[in-house]
Amino acid sequence: MEMRLFRSFLLLALLLPGLALPETMILEGKHRVVLDIINPSGIKKIPDYQNANFSQKVIETKPWTARVEIIITLEPFRSQAGYPLADYQVPEQFQVFLKPEAEVQSSRPEIQRQARELVGYASTETDAVTRVADWMADNIRYEVNTPQDALSVYRNRAGSCAGQTRLMMAILRAAGIPARYARGFLPPGGQWGFDKEYWGVSIKSGGFHAWIEVYYPDQGWVFSDILHSLNFVDPHHLLFQIAGTNLNPGYETTVSGEDGNIRMEEGTSWTIFSEDDQSRVVDALPEPKRPLLSLRTGPQATCAVYGVAKDGAGKPVKSGSLIVWEGDQGKGYPLDRKGRFGVGGLNRGTYFISVRAEGFAEAKKNVTFEQPEAKKLDFVLEPGGVIYGRVTDASGQGISGIYVYLWQGGSGKGFPTDEDGNYKVIGCSAGTQRLSVEGPGYQKAEAKIEIKPGARVEKNWVLKR
């Protein structure tokens, strides 16, 4: 019997009292993506552009194709600009990005009042922008079927990428911080509308997208995407135009649909030609509550562990999870497609950490934090096996919500059954494994199973009352 995959194959994915659970993950490193774009009808002009930590360059173009390189540099964000900004700190050519517009109603009393409430106690521009972003993340939901001007988004507490960008622009402009509107596309890896994740944060849209660019006197212009990230955007943001500038002036500036989305010709394909992702999670913060990615703006706040899981041949383990343990309770974090992981928000102390992946023996290490810091911890997984099957009662009815335990010495790890009684035990080492299963109202059952490297062994259980 081959069971279906669980939504999560981790055991006891419980929230640990010793683990902080912040939602803002702090990244460092560098990420480079080269995109190939093809359309038999021709490619719209794609501009070269660079700001504080984003670079987009067209490295090859033909009538029907374009190759574009996008690089983001995830260094700590070290703006020293105070708040409020002095008049001389905003160059004359950028004063226009402080003014209200038809859909960016920064002069309306409601927007002005909200700006004062959010940034009234800020002493730096970074703090002011962060306060606005945190409030947006926790108070404005994603919704496309509503008006998308800033004031409507504020009143409805709902907006698309376009509407949320306009509202953040309006609040920042009301607070005396220049902000402008970036238009572009989230290339979905060859298919339109493909949902993806970037370090665990869901990228909702796919397709045409809008995000914000904010001016810092000592950094220049800096992108943020209020749906995903603060003070940077990931390199899957293909930039077409920045409103109010001469960047790509031939690009269509008006939307062609009532829903506020720009239309594009069918037949366009997007391919990732190459990618070099050296980004990593190095810290975490408790706000906002909605998951967001950010750059470091202050000292290390928590403990973090990052690294990669590989097999004995040095190839990344593409499917599996890192588990942070405290006693017999653990919380799992999925490996990405390159075998990488990153966990922030840990407290000082010693943690038992393991990696589980189907077809491999569980790998285990300890790590001790004496102060807030980020530590690199790599794993090499040895071949192992999988035990799967079904737990039923005497009538053949599947028993849900009980645990099959894998025993190692005097310690057991539990793997839950799903609603049909199916279970899967991964991370088994080669050799003889001892299992047991028990549940309320049922007698305990035990078995020994021989595991060979790479083997999948079926073991079904019938429990007696």
Distance CA 175, CA 84 (A): 8
* CA-closest candidate to residue 2, choices 320, 458, 366, 464: 458
Least confident of 10-19, 64-73, 325-334: 10-19
Q: What is the CATH topology of the domain spanning 302-381?
A: Immunoglobulin-like (2.60.40)
Q: Using the Cα atoms of residue 183, residue 189, residue 192 and residue 198 in order, give the sign of their dihedral.
A: negative
- Distance separating alpha carbons of residues 38 and 405, to the nearest angstrom: 52
Strand arrangement of the beta sheet that strand 238-242 belongs to: 220-224, 207-216, 179-186, 238-242
Contact call for residues 410 and 431 (beta carbons, < 8 A): no
Rounded Cα–Cα distance for residues 336 and 353 (Å):
17
Instruction: Taking the CA atoms of 447, 353, 201 and 188 in sequence, report the sign of the dihedral they define.
Output: negative
Q: Are 88 and 278 in contact (CB under 8 A)?
A: no
Query: Tokens at residue 438, please?
Result: 């028990």
Give residues with Cβ within 8 angstroms of 216, minimum separation 6: 52, 79, 81, 125, 126, 222
The one-character DSSP state at 362 is: P
CA distances from 286 to 230, 281, 376 (A): 14, 15, 22
d(CA 43, CA 61): 9
Per-residue pLDDT band for 188 (boundaries 50, 70, 90) equals low
pLDDT at 10: 27
Q: What is the mean pLDDT of the chain?
A: 87
pLDDT digits (tens, 9 = 90+) for 262-298: 344 556 777 888 999 999 999 999 888 888 899 999 9
Confidence band of 200 (pLDDT split at 50, 70, 90): low
Checking if the pLDDT of 260 tops 80, the result is: no
Task: Out of 149-153, 162-166, 323-327, 383-387, pick the least confident.
Answer: 323-327
Q: What percent of the chain has pLDDT over 70?
A: 87
Flag whether pLDDT at 128 surpasses 50. yes
Beta strands in 135-252 (DSSP E): 141-142, 158-159, 179-186, 196-198, 201-203, 207-216, 220-224, 229-230, 238-242
Whose CA is closest to 362, among 334, 342, 382?
382
Indicate where the chain has its CATH 2.60.40.1120 domain(s).
302-381, 385-462
**Which residues make up the CATH 3.10.620.30 domain(s) of the chain?**
31-277
User: What does the alpha-carbon distance between residue 290 and residue 25 come to, in Å, rounded to a whole number?
Assistant: 11
The architecture of the domain spanning 31-277 is: Roll (3.10)
- The CATH T-level fold of domain 385-462 is Immunoglobulin-like (2.60.40)
Q: For residues 349 and 19, what is the distance between their CA atoms, to the nearest angstrom? A: 10
| Closest to 281 (Cα-Cα) out of 360, 342, 209, 354 | 342
Q: pLDDT tens-digit profile of 392-408?
A: 999 999 999 999 999 98
Residue 272's pLDDT is what?
86
Beta-strand relationship, 456-458 and 385-392:
parallel
Residue type at position 151: L
